[in-house]
Structure 1
Amino acid sequence: MTVRNSLSPKRSRLSAALFAAILTPVTASTFAQQIEESQKTSTATTLDKVVVTGSLIPQTTKETFTPVTVISAEDIQARGFSSVSDVLQQSSFATGGIQGSQSSASFTQGAETVSMFGLNPGYTKYLINGRPMADYPALYNGSDTFNNISGIPVDLVERIEILPGGQSSLYGSDAIAGVVNVILKTRVDNTTISIRGGTYTDGGGDSGRVTLATGFSAADDRLNGVFGVQYESSEPIWAYQRDITKQYYRNGTSAPLASRDWLVYSPFTSYAFLDPNNCANVTDAFGGTEGLQTRPNFGDENYCGSFFTPGYRTLKNGKDSLQVYSHATFDLNDNHQLYADVLYNDEEVKYHVGSNYTWWGTGVEWGYYYDPDLDDFLNLQRAFAPEEMGAGGFENSMNKDKTESWHVTLGAKGRIGASKWDYDIGLTSTRYELDEQGFARFAGPINDYFQNKVLGPELGLDPYYGAYPVFQPDYAAFYTMMSPEDFRSFTGYTSSKSKTTNDMLRGQLTNSELFSLPGGSAGLAVALEAGQEEWSYKPDARLLNGEVWGTTSVDGGGERDRYAAIAELRLPVFDPLTISLSGRYDRFEPDGAETVDKTTYSLGIEYRPVESFLLRGKYGTAFKAPTLADQFQAESGYYNLVTDYYNCQLLGFDPTEVDQCPAAFSNRQFFGTTEGSRDLEPLNADVWNVGFVWAPLPALSFTADYFRWDIRDEVGSQDPDGLALREMYCRTGANGYDINAPVCVDALSKITRDSLNRITEIYTPKVNEAQEILEAVNVSANYVWDTGVYGQLMFRGSYTNNLKHEFVAFEGDEPIDLLRNPGWSSDPKSKANASVTWRKDNWSTTLYANRIGHTPNYRARVLETYDDPTGRAGKLKPFTTYNFSVSYSPLDALDLSLSVSNLLNDMPPEDRTYPGTSGAPYNSSQYSAYGRAVYVEARYMFGAK
């Protein structure tokens, strides 16, 4: 038999109805069924105790002092979600913008994550079946540790529980913004196979998914379990498949400006057009869109370019993934059970960073060269066209991220003799291995190729500075296309391998009937943890020694032992009042760095003045230990492009006019460096929440909760473009910046300029400096209406509003209001979702809406203010998308469904403050240009009656 937790005392019919009503927003079908069952009986109802995310002690209600949102498997299918990341990113808690597949050339373009309440993605703790997930080996923004949630098989999910707010007193480090517990299936009654196919109506993104799940039983029903496998394949979406991203913006503040695909430019005379054939030899490039272009007031003004090069990048990754999952239990006897969970993920993600990052120029190797025939210093710059890459075009230069991960738990649980003490001892081992196969231009071969074909032999050093090489290039040869064989002669792939491991032994003792109090039985749980963590990032050696042109990499690695002791005490002081106390001690012992230890605690209160109303509150502390990457990341470099706002400002171009600024400044390549520190301290936070749950009717419930975070000693590094923008404001004194303020001293110290006052390097090490204060409120509602012969209607909604979000970058700075300073944050203040489901007989249909509140427009973001004399800096209107699904069961064993995501095919809100130089005139961290997707699915259950 299966080992079960002890039963609770009997409760009234009203209590059972409340239990059903306040399970917000648990699946509508289960919700309605519980209500019906509670209304059918007038006798007392006995409820099993359950373990809820946010507590270690089994209890009879899922609404406690910590609010938990439950999203079931039925919810996922009905709302048209296609993945776990889709579920979480559309949660009302996910107000923060994130980098992802639309963020070309980001460090983790192949990964998927979430930002709860606008906090760092690494501030959310992710669990699978209650055990921590492995960290993703690559670093978000090249700096931060986080979890990639793309490798969880959505068809094998039983439910997802989202616990907002700081939870370190139970879950330790990382549980700052909240905890997400993905619970996979532990029971399958019938062998089930499902086949799902989908496509986007605007093109691209075709996908197919096959899932098989079965249950098994043996040894006289003592051995029970589940086995499942999911395989999915999807094609990428290319930017040229969407009108908003296929070319440079046509409705902006300036006329579209074609890409500078074949360009000669000078720091003194700007553009120099030196093609005797007026671009005639390159007109076949980029689908025949290349031609002679003009940029007024830029030197000779002419160059060879195209308006359609923005289309040559992926918006959505292509992916092939396989997940295998198994859960098993074996009953040794009535009191003791062995259990095992295994989740394996194999995934390959393909993406392209775009034509803007697939190019060559003389600036990287030589800075400038001197042409004695022109008596000028010059640079050559040229993009690579798909026609030069052979059949398939840019598909021949895709990046590929290959991952393998394991999540294995083995353990035993049961009851100690005739006592009331339950035990649970488990060993969890996680592994995450990543092989990033990056497309590369090899420095020696590519420079040799262009020196042989275009530049010619080096003729000494320039007569003015004695520092720059002298060339007499064949400019006609420069303005020509190359063969695929030539392109392959200097390109290939690098392989950077990284991994994380986390082994944890955990033992817990629980007594939910420790002693009696007027309100019921007190409960106690105590647990000990011991484990070891490892992170290593080993880039391809050629990325570090300069053999790869224009590209470098992160480097580093470390390991540590960790220990923790946890205790939770639940006290039903009297019938309406329950108090919960929890505390945790964590200790991290890294090899080669200082030991970090931290104690956290929390106090929770539940007060029920009447059976249908719950007042709740919690105060506690939270923390995040420096990650292994924070401590052991070696000095790591990268190349990127940044706007030199200061030089543009000196030339009369403010941040909204950088499209008119010379290319030497508006598109400046720099070398960036970052590194970890072994002296970092943990992040500390005070967290609290207060709210209520009200169920005035068995079929109707409301929740409202207020959250507050006071976060100190944040570890972080800064955005290079943001640093360059602030450096300009500091140097010029604009926007009230004081050059002697700490934020200005820091910005100026991080940016290196050469003798010509151009940005060459930006340094962003990790420090314990930043502080945040965040206040937010979440409200939700749930209602079931039984219309009799017309079926059943179920309404649900959730709304989150960030009331306050202040940030201090360095001690001594004035707080920055992230809700009102658009230069620092482009997140919406609010986010909401709502759904209505109709069920009758074998039919079910759901309409789901997801609403993103106001976000700042482009002009407000670059000005860092809404106070704009022109009146154009402002906010975009709220943006709502709709999903629709319908399912039908012609047989008990067969379910057919159709779902449509983004039903109205809405594109991101148009922002006409973008300049014509933009190829993606929308905030890709908040909005998606994917458009409408249509999916059909068939699910068959063998043996169903």
Structure 2
Amino acid sequence: MKLRIKPMPVAILQVIASGAFSVAALTPAMAQQASGTEPVQRVVVTGSLISRTDTETATPVQVITAADIQRSGKTSVAELLSDLASNGAGTLGTGFSGAFANGASGISLRGLSVGATLVLLDGHRVAPYAIGDDAQRSFVDVSNIPFDAIESIEVLKAGASSLYGSDAVAGVVNIKLKKSYNGTRLSAEGGTTQHGGGTTKRASFSTGFGDLDADGYNAFVTAEYRRQGGIKISDRLGNDWNDRDWTARGGNNLTLGVPTSLNNMLTQANTPYLFNPSGPALPGTNPATNQPYSATDNPVNYQFLNSNCDFTRYRAGQCAVADNSSFIQPKTENVNVLAGFTKKLAGDWEMGVKGSYFRRESSNNRGVPPVFSPTSFAGNTALSPDGTLTPRVGALGATTFPAGSAVGAGITNNLPGTARLYGYVPGTAAASTSDNTATATRLALDLNGTAYGWDMRLAGGLTESKVEIDYSGYIDRNALYNSLRSGTFNVLGGNSQALTDTISPRFSNTNTSKLNYADATASRELTQLGAGPLIFAAGLHWHKREWDAPPSALTANGQVASTSPFVFGSETNTAAFAELQATLIKNVETSISGRYDRFDTYGHSFTPAANFKWTPSKQFALRGNFARGFRAPNPAESGSAGSFFSYNAISDPVLCPTGNITAPGSVPIYCKFTPVFVQQTSKDLSPEKSKSYDLGIVLAPIQGLGITFDYYKIELSNQIVSAATSDPNYVPSFVRGAPVQMDTVQADGSIASVLSPVGPALYATSGYINAGKTTTSGIEAAINYRFNLPDGMGSLRTDLSAAHTFDYTQSVNGVSYQLAGTQGPSGVGGATGNPKNRAQFSLTWARGPLDVTTSVNYTSSFSSLDPSVGGTNCASTGTDVGGRNYFASIDGGQPASYCRVASFTTTNLNLQYKVTPNLTLKGTILNVFDKAPPIDVGTYGNSGVQTAYNASLHQAGAVGRFFSLGLGYTF
């Protein structure tokens, strides 16, 4: 195998060449073992049940300490973890506004999605977020875990189902909260972005008393308040990644309200107007002159109802709509409280109780304005709690008004024929918005001690995630149409608040996810065997999970759509597991483990694992691991659940049979349109299964230098995927309304309104299937170096972590796609991008009271193609996944330069200065060089309808340079 190393940023290479290696977040144990006569503590490291003194285990574990968190300059755990080099495709960031679970944040180790990464608190399960990622994948929201409550974060980068059960396919993120605290600490910081918006304030308070050794107890409480201002699209105007007008780049003008050939010259302008489809053809020529329409033409098929817009202005794009609502960064407010009590009991037993309340309020939207639209899905189906759907209104002809009829209050259709109404609904919100209040509560009890020669750990907990959502900016189209027909609604505005609230009602619903657990483990040394002790550990686990996420009342009866998915279901898991560790040969540590899980939803799974670590010298170790893993079908996949979603652009097989917008018989709006799908569950799903292999080396050639290299390969089969998003050959089964008049291309190229052969596509169905298989492999490196500078110049610590993906192959129905370094897999990863290389580098200089850290985050370039959805042509990557028609032809025409997303590097600077032993000042600059995000035409989760940057990988670029100052005082 020939390894080709691509260029990294020059700054990183220079540091590597100088021999100064390391990363603040990574702590290989060979470089940090206790020295001299310091007492050696035994700890249980994530990935094992057995305590040890050497934290560099047979499986790679990345440790992020509380000090590392402070040095990062970040203000939230979500920001911190999103930069992990091992965090790949499918990661969910708070800027990913296109997600069902927007506002939340999840980690996707090794690019296998947030559903394949298990997140623990203090080594135990917690309730997943009450809204699934893509309405399917369960994950733990890390965006509301407070900094000051964290002792450390351990990232196990290996399959771990043999000890932790379901979901630990790609690895485990174990967030360890503080166990005790003495004294009192106050801290406050504030910052803002250079380009406007995003002002952030954070304050925390921690206090505790009692010494465990002297007093036998400790009690503490820590509280945090954080408020982050929103950044809107309108705050970042003037950037190419935030410009809907692509005409200067040879593309289309996608500005809201601007008529183009892509929207058949019919779009929702900033004021209402009527259009008569039986008048002169659009877009085409004026039959009177056989010439294209000019600014002086005033065809009879337009009737503008407001002087702010007329035909000339409309056709010149001067009736555009400004997007002043869509968020690049949502506004959030966090209130977090953690309380703990630890008590020494008889013998060496110890009891710990923790209670936490984490609350996040956020305002999110997808930037989809409420409009009069003849192709709108809203109001045409009713969604029942059992997942069935029935058409409500039938044909989408409810917006037509015969000549001479009333068009709402005081407005008459003066066109000589049946007309349609276009424009924005006056008095309503500018975007469909959800204000989320997400609370995570937890009460946990831990008992540790020894009995009958066994080290015992007993635990139990009650955990809950609740998301209360208030919706605004949605249109109840039945109420709208009825009020227009009755003449009570004025399309020019000035309606009463009561009527507006009827047309655009505010409504809410509450989603709840609960998980209660009980754990018991015991370990002891059985005997001496070979060159060391034979140690055995065993445990039992039980948890019950309940997911109660009903649809809102207005969604259930079909009045509005595109709200959060609904889920009803539960699962009960009982498991037994064990681990056996031995040193049969000198310097060769081996262990085997296995777990038997029983789920009441599908049956049972057995997952074994084996690993070894050979340490012939203090300077070198070789380690390896084999593990099987699984992910059980969750209630959103196999329970009673449903959701609406839109995916990539396709052509209607009847209304645009050739896929050509200009072909006779084509209905242009149904060529490369983005249909609405209704996701359905499947009762007979089997669990996903995995096999993972890891082989690595650990080096400590000189004092203070630690190096690890780990190769991994994961084979994930039986993947649970949505048929529509994972099979490019999937043919949707459409539920259609009755045939209606549609603008159709005629034999001479003109467009006329004729009765369609079939009705418009109301929606298509898609079920979950066990059809996917993914194989991925790569190498991860961690290098750190600590050393003192001469002549009292202080000390340096340098850290580097890097990940390179060799292979990421997805197979569906026997067809395989190589996706490493591409946009895919969109159906699993949400078009978040799948770069081959990610790296983190930091350099910390400390001298006396001053501590300065510079960190660099690097993401390599990748292709905007996604072969897994049929995207193999650089001329159409914008439409293949996200349905973004940036360029001239709906069938292609995109310049080759947009086939790649450029690499992205950001640099952060953090300074801390101890004014006194009690007072510390802090200053941070994030994105020091104000690096802008590269253009990504293939993604769809970014803010607004048409912004072209990757919110999962390049969010720091959209935020821009950020400054903050803070202080902390300890009593």
TM-score, shorter chain, exceeding 0.5: yes
The answer to whether the 8 A contact 2:698-2:708 is kept is yes
Distance 2:50 2:866 in 1: 52
Task: Specify which of 926, 936, 944 is matched with residue 953 of structure 2.
Answer: 926
Instruction: Report the counterpart of residue 317 of structure 1 in structure 2.
Output: 330
1:416 and 2:451 aligned: yes
Instruction: Report the counterpart of residue 815 of structure 1 in structure 2.
Output: 816
The answer to whether the 8 A contact 2:28-2:708 is kept is no
Distance 1:534 1:156 in 2: 27
TM, length-normalised to structure 1: 0.82
Instruction: Report the counterpart of residue 909 of structure 1 in structure 2.
Output: 934
Distance 1:700 1:123 in 2: 33
Secondary structure, aligned partner of 1:176: coil
Distance 1:631 1:562 in 2: 15
**Pair 1:228–1:921, CA change in 2 (3 A):** same
Instruction: Report the counterpart of residue 461 of structure 1 in structure 2.
Output: none
Q: Deviations over 1:546-588 (max 9, x none)?
A: 233x446533312232211010111112321011110000001
Structure 1 residue 384: deviation in Å? Answer: 4.5
| Greater share of residues in helix | 1
- Tell me which amino acid in the other structure corresponds to 1:167: A
**Pair 1:859–1:717, CA change in 2 (3 A):** closer
The answer to whether the 8 A contact 2:782-2:800 is kept is yes
Secondary structure, aligned partner of 1:844: strand
Task: Specify which of 886, 906, 911 is matched with residue 911 of structure 2.
Answer: 886
Matches within 5 A, 1:672-691: 672-691=677-696
Instruction: Report the counterpart of residue 769 of structure 2 in structure 1.
Output: 767
Distance 1:775 1:918 in 2: 34
Task: Specify which of 50, 62, 70 is matched with residue 69 of structure 1.
Answer: 62
Instruction: Report the counterpart of residue 280 of structure 1 in structure 2.
Output: 307
Secondary structure, aligned partner of 1:819: coil
- Tell me which amino acid in the other structure corresponds to 2:352: Y
Task: Specify which of 246, 249, 252 is matched with residue 252 of structure 1.
Answer: 249
1:778 and 2:780 aligned: yes
- Tell me which amino acid in the other structure corresponds to 1:898: G
1:345 and 2:358 aligned: yes
- Tell me which amino acid in the other structure corresponds to 1:416: A
Distance 1:797 1:649 in 2: 53
Distance 2:945 2:439 in 1: 37
Matches within 5 A, 1:688-727: 688-718=693-723, 726=728
Distance 2:922 2:676 in 1: 51
**Pair 1:371–1:751, CA change in 2 (3 A):** closer
Distance 2:848 2:629 in 1: 48
Structure 1 residue 241: deviation in Å? Answer: 0.3
Deviates more, 1:843-852 or 1:424-433: 424-433
**Pair 1:797–1:252, CA change in 2 (3 A):** same
Secondary structure, aligned partner of 1:885: strand
Instruction: Report the counterpart of residue 528 of structure 2 in structure 1.
Output: 516
**Pair 1:672–1:618, CA change in 2 (3 A):** same
Structure 1 residue 32: deviation in Å? Answer: 12
- Tell me which amino acid in the other structure corresponds to 2:334: S
**Pair 1:234–1:846, CA change in 2 (3 A):** same
Task: Specify which of 836, 843, 849 is matched with residue 836 of structure 1.
Answer: 843
1:747 and 2:731 aligned: yes
Instruction: Report the counterpart of residue 82 of structure 1 in structure 2.
Output: 75
Instruction: Report the counterpart of residue 170 of structure 1 in structure 2.
Output: 163
Distance 1:408 1:521 in 2: 37
Instruction: Report the counterpart of residue 342 of structure 2 in structure 1.
Output: 329
Secondary structure, aligned partner of 1:673: strand
Matches within 5 A, 1:287-686: 292-294=313-315, 305-306=319-320, 308-309=322-323, 311-354=324-367, 356-364=368-376, 366-368=395-397, 373=403, 379-384=420-425, 388=427, 394=430, 398-417=433-452, 419=453, 421-439=454-472, 440-453=474-487, 480-482=492-494, 485=497, 487-511=500-524, 513-548=525-560, 550-551=561-562, 554-590=565-601, 595-637=602-644, 644=651, 650=658, 652=660, 664-665=669-670, 668=673, 670-686=675-691
Structure 1 residue 769: deviation in Å? Answer: 1.3
**Pair 1:649–1:897, CA change in 2 (3 A):** farther
RMSD: 3.5
Distance 1:126 1:194 in 2: 28
Matches within 5 A, 1:117-132: 117-132=110-125
Secondary structure, aligned partner of 2:701: strand
Distance 1:543 1:168 in 2: 38
- Tell me which amino acid in the other structure corresponds to 2:396: G
- Tell me which amino acid in the other structure corresponds to 1:893: N
Secondary structure, aligned partner of 1:292: helix
- Tell me which amino acid in the other structure corresponds to 1:573: L
Secondary structure, aligned partner of 1:697: coil
**Pair 1:57–1:757, CA change in 2 (3 A):** same
Distance 2:763 2:555 in 1: 18
The answer to whether the 8 A contact 1:342-1:408 is kept is yes
1:194 and 2:194 aligned: no
The answer to whether the 8 A contact 1:270-1:662 is kept is no
The answer to whether the 8 A contact 1:291-1:306 is kept is no
The answer to whether the 8 A contact 2:442-2:464 is kept is yes
Secondary structure, aligned partner of 2:478: helix
Matches within 5 A, 1:839-854: 839-854=846-861
Structure 1 residue 321: deviation in Å? Answer: 1.6
Instruction: Report the counterpart of residue 730 of structure 1 in structure 2.
Output: none
Instruction: Report the counterpart of residue 458 of structure 1 in structure 2.
Output: none
Distance 1:452 1:639 in 2: 33
Deviates more, 1:521-530 or 1:750-759: 750-759
TM, length-normalised to structure 2: 0.80
1:180 and 2:173 aligned: yes
Structure 1 residue 327: deviation in Å? Answer: 2.4
**Pair 1:408–1:611, CA change in 2 (3 A):** same
The answer to whether the 8 A contact 1:544-1:553 is kept is no
Structure 1 residue 889: deviation in Å? Answer: 0.6
The answer to whether the 8 A contact 1:273-1:303 is kept is no
Structure 1 residue 274: deviation in Å? Answer: 4.8
Matches within 5 A, 1:236-251: 236-243=230-237, 244=239, 247-250=243-246, 251=248
Instruction: Report the counterpart of residue 732 of structure 1 in structure 2.
Output: none
The answer to whether the 8 A contact 1:26-1:69 is kept is no
Instruction: Report the counterpart of residue 222 of structure 1 in structure 2.
Output: 216
Secondary structure, aligned partner of 2:175: strand
**Pair 1:854–1:752, CA change in 2 (3 A):** farther
Distance 2:29 2:580 in 1: 30
Percent identity, aligned pairs only?
23
Distance 2:793 2:669 in 1: 68
Structure 1 residue 277: deviation in Å? Answer: 4.9
**Pair 1:648–1:927, CA change in 2 (3 A):** farther
Distance 2:517 2:556 in 1: 34
The answer to whether the 8 A contact 2:659-2:671 is kept is no
Structure 1 residue 715: deviation in Å? Answer: 1.0
**Pair 1:879–1:671, CA change in 2 (3 A):** closer
The answer to whether the 8 A contact 2:821-2:861 is kept is no
- Tell me which amino acid in the other structure corresponds to 1:430: T
Instruction: Report the counterpart of residue 876 of structure 1 in structure 2.
Output: 901
- Tell me which amino acid in the other structure corresponds to 2:250: T
Distance 2:340 2:549 in 1: 32
